[in-house]
């Protein structure tokens, strides 16, 4: 339980994640002394509800962070780069939800279920990992602890909300167009800033971020690099294929791991079951397994389809689902903030 | 090129695959002497267009196969079990698109690009593999030949048309309901005959067939067993996770393989490029990769996102897409029939 009240700023308050941060602060009864909602000039002046009251959104500026204890950032990487140092200079601790500082060696990259102990090492900025990484490492943690973790091969089924509220709207509109037999408008997916856009409705797009030199996407390499950093263990081999699917909220992941030690399937199930933050939904014979429609709106990470590999003696397969806007972003950020107060 | 004309029967002529078989026979100018369209009593009397003429669907019966040279079956496993021996008894060669005979040692399991030479070994029945297997083995074949194939880890993104025309309609209707804020009707997905049905629209369901004892689904184990049989090589290790996604037509697969010999990425690209039946769409930097919406209606197997693994020295990742009703079913069946005439 948090022990003292804090002045909290939310930068990007009107975005898809920002909105979920506010709902999380309410739901988890975060001890907010004062709330400052910050955004670009475009959103300044808007009113947003918090605990039954209307709070006006202010334009972000360095001065707006004066007196702020905790600043939760989710307004894009360049905004974080501009304002995080200003907020820190004024005494705030920044919990940043963008990719700007994640791999900075001075910045702890935190998933509380995995490495809460690192939170204290911050120098003003704490990074929230990428959504697809967070839910995977929560599921990997009990395996890492009990059996050791050699390597991971993951294929993702990512919801469009990872690209923001406008992408959710695009999926909606494209679906409507397809049902009406009209040509879909394609403006955002797969990556807003790239030149080519494809229909995501009734499609699957094997690209969730820009390309890297090695033929992987940045999204895929985030899963590789962030997993090593969060566990503080460069020996974990991660291979990722990140794919966007026509789901609004909730990322799914097909995960194959090779563990270091032999295991019984029941031990693995028990390890998942005993882990705070994981809900095991694993009974294929009764058709029980996680699905994004069911995970949407929930804070936990859902694990199912747990089965011993038939090829590798220490291979294990499972399926992980979580709400990418909640545990994949807002919930994780607010959990970090809870550790700070 | 086919050398003689054949009397062809299509059993299941009014189904999603049956319809595509007819379109394929037309498009590929299959030398049809006489066409018999067969179905259950429910569909008997319906008229179906073929080469500009209306052909009446007859109720399937043993006698209906008299004089038939080639019978293309896609009306479900129990129908195949009942009628295939009858058709064979009357001199027909059956190309069966169901799971009924695939693992029967007396029945060749054929993907012409991989094992056309086995076609001659039939004793009246030739099996068409499962849709998700076909497109994968077409992509694996050039790798198997040039570099040897140790193991495969695949996660699928399967279209609802794999469950037939009614499932396509269900996705459509559920999407409409979701857009209108109404409760979706759930009657088919993930497996019609199982007790629980889930919404597939805007969801992902990690089950495409019934459960097996080992915690995998039958769909997943089909990929394991059929791959070994098609290559005639039990040493290939296959691990599959089969997932249904809200796509109407076109299965996608995220494939990781470990090859037996060292390779250069360019050699792999060249091997894909030189393989008949494969179209390489592989330029991530220019956002070129296969997608189901683009592959729908095409006969080929599309390969992209080809990249060397960063963990295993002989690991390779790629993405395979094909129209599950065409190369995954009808096209492959008609290709087999072409080898017969």
Q: What is the pLDDT of residues B210-238, one digit of tens each?
A: 999 999 999 999 999 999 999 999 999 99
A135 is in an annotated binding site: no
Catalytic residues of B: 131, 251
Mean pLDDT of A330-335: 97
* pLDDT tens digits, B253-271: 999 999 999 999 999 999 9
Structure tokens of A308?
């011993």
Secondary structure in 3-state letters for B138-186? HHHHHHHHHHCEEEEEEEEEECHHHHCHHHHHHHHHHHHHHHCCCCCCC
Per-residue pLDDT, A3:
58
Quote the CA–CA distance of B60 and B38 in Å, as a whole number.
5
Structure tokens of B210?
């019934």
Instruction: Give the other-Cβ count within 10 Å of A95's Cβ.
Output: 27
* DSSP letter assigned to residue A167: H
Per-residue pLDDT, B217:
98
Chain B hits for A172, CB-CB cut-off 8 Å, are: 179
Per-residue pLDDT, B143:
98
Quote the CA–CA distance of B230 and B109 in Å, as a whole number.
6
Per-residue pLDDT, B2:
45
Query: What is the CATH architecture of B133-324?
Result: 2-Layer Sandwich (3.30)
What are residue A291's phi and psi, to 5 degrees? -145, 145
Contact across the interface for B202 and A248, Cβ inside 8 Å: yes
Rg (CA), chain B: 20
Contact across the interface for A214 and B153, Cβ inside 8 Å: no
Quote the CA–CA distance of B341 and B338 in Å, as a whole number.
6
Percent of chain A with pLDDT over 90: 98
Mean pLDDT of A329-338: 97
Percent of chain B with pLDDT over 90: 98
Chain A hits for B150, CB-CB cut-off 8 Å, are: none
ipTM over 0.90? The verdict is: yes
CA atoms within 13 A on the CB side of B3: 3
Q: Which residues contact A117 (CB under 8 A, 6 or more apart)?
A: none
* pLDDT tens digits, B171-217: 999 999 999 999 999 999 999 999 999 999 999 999 999 999 999 99
Contact across the interface for A211 and B315, Cβ inside 8 Å: no
Instruction: Compare CB distances from B293 to A157, A199, A311 and report the shortest one's residue.
Output: A199
Residues carrying CATH 3.40.50.720, chain B: 6-128+329-340
**Quick check: A210 contacting B, CB < 8 Å?**
no
* pLDDT tens digits, A81-97: 999 999 999 999 999 99
Quote the CA–CA distance of B276 and B273 in Å, as a whole number.
8
pLDDT confidence tier of residue A2, bands split at 50, 70 and 90? very low
The DSSP annotation for A64-133 comes to GGTT-SEEEE-S-HHHHHHHHHHHHHTTPEEEE-SSSSTT-TTS-B--HHHHGGGGGG-SSEEEPPPHHH
Is the confidence at residue B247, as pLDDT, over 70? yes
Residues carrying CATH 3.30.360.10, chain B: 133-324
**Quick check: B319 contacting A, CB < 8 Å?**
yes
pLDDT confidence tier of residue B4, bands split at 50, 70 and 90? confident
Instruction: Give the other-Cβ count within 10 Å of B78's Cβ.
Output: 10
* pLDDT tens digits, B117-162: 999 999 999 999 999 999 999 999 999 999 999 999 999 999 999 9
**Quick check: A128 contacting B, CB < 8 Å?**
no
- 3-state secondary structure at position A155: strand
* pLDDT tens digits, A30-68: 999 999 999 999 999 999 999 999 999 999 999 999 999
Give residue for tokens 């919990």: A95
Per-residue pLDDT, B1:
38
* pLDDT tens digits, B31-89: 999 999 999 999 999 999 999 999 999 999 999 999 999 999 999 999 999 999 999 99
Active site annotation includes A251? yes
Task: Give the H/E segment covering residue B39.
Answer: strand B32-39
- What CATH code would you report for A6-128+329-340? 3.40.50.720
């Amino acid at each position: 339980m948090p022990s003292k009240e804090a002045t909290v700023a939310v930068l990007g308050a009107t975005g898809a994640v920002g909105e979920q941060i506010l709902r999380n602060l309410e739901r988890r009864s975060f001890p907010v002394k004062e709330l400052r909602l910050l955004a670009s000039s475009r959103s300044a002046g808007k009113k947003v509800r918090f605990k039954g009251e209307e709070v006006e959104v202010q334009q972000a500026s360095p001065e707006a962070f004066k007196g702020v204890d905790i600043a939760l950032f989710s307004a894009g990487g360049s905004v974080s780069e501009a304002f995080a140092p200003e907020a820190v200079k004024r005494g705030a601790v920044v919990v940043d939800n963008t990719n700007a500082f994640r791999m900075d060696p001075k910045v702890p990259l935190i998933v509380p279920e995995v490495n809460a102990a690192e939170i204290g090492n911050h120098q003003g900025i704490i990074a929230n990992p990428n959504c697809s990484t967070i839910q995977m490492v929560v599921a990997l943690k009990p395996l890492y602890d009990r059996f050791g973790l050699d390597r991971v091969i993951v294929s993702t089924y990512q919801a469009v909300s990872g690209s923001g509220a406008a992408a959710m709207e695009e999926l909606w509109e494209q679906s409507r167009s397809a049902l009406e037999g009209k040509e879909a408008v394609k403006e955002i997916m797969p990556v807003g800033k790239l030149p080519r856009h494809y229909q995501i409705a009734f499609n699957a797009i094997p690209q969730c971020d820009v390309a890297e030199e090695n033929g992987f996407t940045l999204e895929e390499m985030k899963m590789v690099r962030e997993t090593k950093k969060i566990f503080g263990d460069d020996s974990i081999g991660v291979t990722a294929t990140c794919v966007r699917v026509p789901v609004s909220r909730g990322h799914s992941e097909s995960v194959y791991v090779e563990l270091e030690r032999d295991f019984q399937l029941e031990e693995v199930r028990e390890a998942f079951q005993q882990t705070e933050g994981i809900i095991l939904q694993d009974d294929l014979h009764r058709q029980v397994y996680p699905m994004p429609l069911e995970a949407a709106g929930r804070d936990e990470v859902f694990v199912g389809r747990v089965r011993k590999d038939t090829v590798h003696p220490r291979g294990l397969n499972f399926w992980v689902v979580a709400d990418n806007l909640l545990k994949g972003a807002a919930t994780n950020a607010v959990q970090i903030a809870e550790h700070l107060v």
